[in-house]
Chain A
Amino acid sequence: MADAETTAKTKKKADRTGFEPHIIGFLCNWCTYAGADLAGTSRIGYPTNIKAVRVPCSGRVDAMYVINALKNGADGVLVSGCHPGDCHYNQGNYYARRRFMILREIFSAMGINPERLQMSWCSAAEGAKWAQIVAQVTEKIRELGPFEGI
Chain B
Amino acid sequence: MKYSYYPGCSMHSTAAEFESSFRFVAGVLGMELTEVEDWFCCGATPAHITDPLLGLALPTQNLLQARPTGLDVATTCAACYNRLKTANRVALEKPKKREALAQILGEEYKGEIPVRHILDIFVNDVGVDNIQRNVLFPLNGLRVASYYGCLLTRPPEVADFDDVENPVTMDKIVEALGGVALEWPFKTECCGASFSLSRSDIVGRLAGEIMRYAKQAGAECIAVACPLCQSNLDLRQKEASEYEGVEFNMPILYITQLMAVAYGGGGKDVGLGKAIVNAESVVHRVFGHRGSERVER
Do A and B touch, yes or no (CB under 8 Å, in the complex)? no
Interface residues of B (CB under 8 A from A): none
Binding site for B on A (CB under 8 A): none
